[in-house]
């Protein structure tokens, strides 16, 4: 671990920031949402207020980051630089039992920078965060609060050799990917380990395992030939692994997953022009939904539990009704972004912030906010450079 001086370049002048905090003290908002946008070319993350469009600051990094939000922290993963910068979003929802208290401060880079050989996937579960290092196969395990405590002392586990992997914390256990013979050979499956790193049970085959999500305490993992579900044992024992084959769905496989919040389901990619709804415990767990053109990105609404949003390369945003498994609305929101070319070419990404779908439009240099109620664009936020990756942080709470 290294600590370095935080680099923050506030967009607003200090005087304006002071004025803003005075206004906040008198009139504390009861909901707040912020967007963190990574640039496609440069090492920078922009912090924006999703409710007003105000720029809240820029954070300088070594390279263009992959972004993951956990609680009030944004992980800016810079794999090739061996670093993960940590941004305090400035929005904290503190659990008060029957309600949450909303606390708002300026976004800021934490002093702590996580380091590794090639840090990659960040996964949260059961109040713990697991950072997988593809370069070593090691897993760092810690809580969000530990990122702000001195000294930072994560538990480090070494469940296997180096590979592009993942680790999902589940109570006293973790589900981790199992590498093939070499780092470049296809991953073979997943296994359960305890927090001393000891394996419990057999490896569950899950060829090429990639992508995971959690919904109502169940984790799902994408495989070349299906999906593995990990369900917590009723007695607090090791999670139970189950492989659901997807052969009947035709050509394709799941490698990116999102998990429902109020409803238990997963939404995954399937081939270039479909998505699949996955319902644990159902006799027919898969519903494949064909899209009119190739898929660019998709997201779930954490508030409106039955809404999924899918952007396709023709620039259309589709509303997927999770309950019926059908697309009920489609609107054109950007110029076409062809899926021909490299997978990492600049194309829009989606996040959901309160009542808005936030969508980066890299070639236009804006973030577009689309109402989740009307599907109409309500705001464009100009962002310097090429806005690309995006995560939303926020929610609603009491201000007392």
Residues lying near Zn ion in the complex (CB under 5 A): 96, 101, 398
Minimum distance of Zn ion from residue 234's CB (angstroms): 32
Name the residue nearer to Zn ion (CB basis): 101 or 158. 101
- C-alpha–C-alpha distance, residues 172 and 176, integer Å: 13
Name the residue nearer to Zn ion (CB basis): 50 or 206. 206
Name the residue nearer to Zn ion (CB basis): 95 or 150. 95
Minimum distance of Zn ion from residue 55's CB (angstroms): 30
Minimum distance of Zn ion from residue 98's CB (angstroms): 9
Burial class (CB in 10 A: 0-12, 13-18, 19+), 63: middle
Name the residue nearer to Zn ion (CB basis): 98 or 283. 98
Alpha helices per DSSP H over the chain: 14-26
Minimum distance of Zn ion from residue 99's CB (angstroms): 6
Give the CB-nearest residue to Zn ion: 96
Minimum distance of Zn ion from residue 208's CB (angstroms): 11
Name the residue nearer to Zn ion (CB basis): 58 or 297. 297
Residue 233 is encoded by which pair of tokens? Answer: 């044992």
Name the residue nearer to Zn ion (CB basis): 366 or 398. 398
Q: How many CA atoms lie within 13 A of 209 on its CB side?
A: 30
Residue 246 is encoded by which pair of tokens? Answer: 């997807």
- C-alpha–C-alpha distance, residues 63 and 131, integer Å: 19
Task: Report CA torsion sign: 303, 322, 290, 333.
Answer: negative
Minimum distance of Zn ion from residue 66's CB (angstroms): 8
**What values do phi and psi take at 131, rounded to 5?**
-110, 120
Question: Do 308 and 302 form a contact (C-beta atoms < 8 A)?
Answer: no
């Amino acid at each position: 671990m290294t600590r370095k001086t935080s680099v923050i370049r506030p967009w607003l002048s200090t005087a304006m920031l002071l004025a803003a905090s005075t206004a906040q003290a008198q009139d504390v908002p009861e909901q707040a949402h912020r967007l963190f946008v990574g640039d496609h070319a440069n090492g920078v993350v922009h912090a924006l207020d999703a409710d007003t469009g105000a720029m809240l600051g820029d954070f300088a990094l070594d390279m263009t980051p992959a972004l993951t939000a956990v609680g009030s922290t944004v992980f800016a993963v810079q794999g090739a630089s061996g670093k993960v910068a940590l941004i305090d979003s400035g929005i904290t929802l503190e659990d008060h039992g029957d309600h949450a208290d909303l606390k708002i401060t300026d976004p800021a880079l934490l002093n702590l920078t996580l380091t590794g050989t090639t840090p990659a996937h960040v996964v949260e579960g059961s109040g713990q965060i697991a950072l997988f290092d593809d370069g070593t196969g090691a897993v760092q395990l810690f809580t969000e609060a530990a990122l702000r405590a001195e000294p930072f002392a994560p538990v480090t586990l070494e469940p296997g050799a180096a590979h592009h992997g993942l680790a999902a914390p589940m109570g006293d256990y973790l589900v981790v990917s199992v590498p093939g013979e070499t780092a470049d050979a296809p991953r073979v499956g997943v296994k359960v380990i305890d927090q001393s790193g000891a394996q419990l049970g057999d490896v569950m085959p899950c060829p090429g395992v990639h992508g995971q999500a959690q919904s109502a305490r169940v984790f799902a993992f994408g495989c070349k030939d299906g999906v593995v579900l990990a369900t917590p044992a009723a007695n607090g024992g090791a999670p139970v692994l189950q492989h659901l084959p997807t052969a009947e769905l035709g050509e394709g496989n799941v490698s990116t997953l999102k998990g429902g919040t109020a409803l238990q389901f997963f939404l995954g990619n399937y081939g270039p022009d479909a998505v699949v709804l996955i319902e644990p415990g159902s006799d027919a767990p898969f519903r494949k939904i064909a899209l009119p053109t190739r898929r660019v990105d998709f997201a779930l609404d954490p508030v409106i539990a039955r809404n999924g949003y899918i952007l396709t390369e023709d620039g259309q945003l589709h509303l997927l009704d999770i309950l019926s498994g059908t697309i009920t609305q489609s609107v054109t929101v950007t110029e076409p972004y062809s899926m021909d070319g490299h997978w990492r070419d600049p194309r829009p990404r989606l996040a959901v912030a309160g009542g808005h779908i936030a969508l980066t439009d890299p070639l236009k240099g804006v973030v577009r906010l689309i109402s989740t109620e009307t599907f109409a664009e309500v705001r464009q936020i100009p962002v310097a450079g090429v806005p690309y990756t995006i995560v939303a942080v926020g929610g609603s709470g009491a201000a007392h």
